[in-house]
Amino acid sequence: MLRVTLFTTCILLSSLAKASNIYFAGVGFVSTTVSAQNSLLFSTKFEERNSLTEPFFSRLYSEIEGFTLGNGDIVSTGLASLKTNNDVTLALTFESEELVINKIADNEYTLKYTLDAPILIYDVSKQSVLSSQPIRLAITDISDHYPSDDELIDFTSSVFLGLDRNIENSLLLNEFFRILEDIEIKNSYAFSIQVTGVSFSDNASNYLSKHSIDPDYYSQKLASTFSSILSTELGVPVLPFIKGDTIGRKVALRFRETGVMSLEIPEPTFSIELLHRGFATKLLEESKSAQRYTFGTGLNVKVQNNIFQEILFDRSFQLGIPKNFTKQMQIQESYWHSESIAALIAGVINQFNEYDRSWVKEHISGKYNDKDVKSEFELIRNGVLANLR
């Protein structure tokens, strides 16, 4: 049975003084790096209108034209123009995706497809990003055989086209329009936050190399996961992550209608730097028919106020998830480590919302003073996140 998980954000942003037209540029694909392009193997099928994608585009454009945003602004299709005195434009962008297939028995496989598709808000005349609203969608399914290429296309396409190709049940479009019902767009934002860097310890780098995982791809995935959970759980907009091989602070988006557009991303008021400290796999117990493993990951999170060049938060955490396997099951370490790091990120971000002493005691690394750590989390909640809403 197909299961669906939504990781989305629905944020109220301060409104403009009066209702106006906001333009919708269409669907854009992050195309800054080769690794980014290679990671979008299934969503790129929705770059062009054809027999497969036509229902998606038909519903998208028919419903977006004249759509009313949360503050009463009206959406029009096409790029903004200087004649309108309003250059604010929004786009639905496809940033990264992942498909994982796990064998759990001789005739049983699990499939999981994850898509990051943030709503990007930018100024056309200045060619500058204003804000971003992350959307993360995940679907799972079970098959009695290893799926064919056509079956994988059908499975992943259900995110865009809905189950059984019923476009009214499109997960992506339903989330996109749901968020737009509440969003209020500004011409400028006084404060912003962004994941500005992702780095790896020697342990983590060796692990990525061993499992043939592209570091750029994993950096994008880790930054997208952190940004999506931060935005979803704490209700704040997050500037998109810029990969290390870009020139300047720019992100390149490939649009079907207008080709490639290069947008500058402003320096964030608050920056987040992530250091992946490593991976660990440990066999806990074993019998003749089963094995029990724990998959652990470690992460350092640093938050800095860039105006005063002041580090506000700099702590390391670790988390392990136990899993049982029969001898027939395929143990795909990289998948379970991805699940572990996502759970760890969610746990850390939840502390910014409400401090949990027992969680911190179990998962924080090194010596620490509980009172100090609690104060640091409260500082981020009240001094950083409160200014972003």
Domain ranges in the chain are 3-189+247-265, 272-388
In total, the chain counts a number of residues equal to: 389
- Phi and psi of 211, rounded to 5°? -100, 15
The pLDDT of residue 318 is: 98
pLDDT tens per residue across span 71-127: 788 999 876 554 455 678 899 999 888 899 988 878 889 999 999 999 999 988 888
Cβ neighbors of 145 (< 8 A, separation 6 or more) are 107, 109
Inter-axis angle of helices 149-161 and 171-180, nearest 10: 20
Six-digit token string for 43: 């969503």
What would the two tokens of residue 54 be? 């036509």
Q: pLDDT tens-digit profile of 251-286?
A: 888 887 677 888 899 999 999 999 999 999 999 999
Q: Are 172 and 250 in contact (CB under 8 A)?
A: no
- Residue-wise pLDDT for 293-351, tens only, equals 999 999 999 999 999 999 999 999 999 999 998 877 878 888 899 999 999 999 999 99
The whole-number pLDDT of residue 288 equals 86
pLDDT in tens, 178-237: 999 888 777 777 899 999 999 999 999 999 999 999 898 899 889 999 999 999 889 888
Look at residue 340 in the predicted model and tell me its pLDDT.
97
Residue 41 pLDDT: 78
| Range of weakest confidence among 51-55, 81-85, 245-249 | 81-85
pTM score, whole prediction = 0.85
Q: Which residues of 298-313 are buried (b: 16+ CB within 10 A; e: fewer)?
A: bbbbbbbeeeeeeeeb
* Residue 60 backbone zone (phi > 0: left; psi -120 to 50: alpha; other: beta): alpha
CB 257 within 8 A of CB 26: yes
Q: Specify burial of residue 382 (Cβ count, 10 A radius: 0-12, 13-18, 19+).
A: exposed
Class of domain 3-189+247-265: alpha beta
Residue 269 token pair:
């008021």
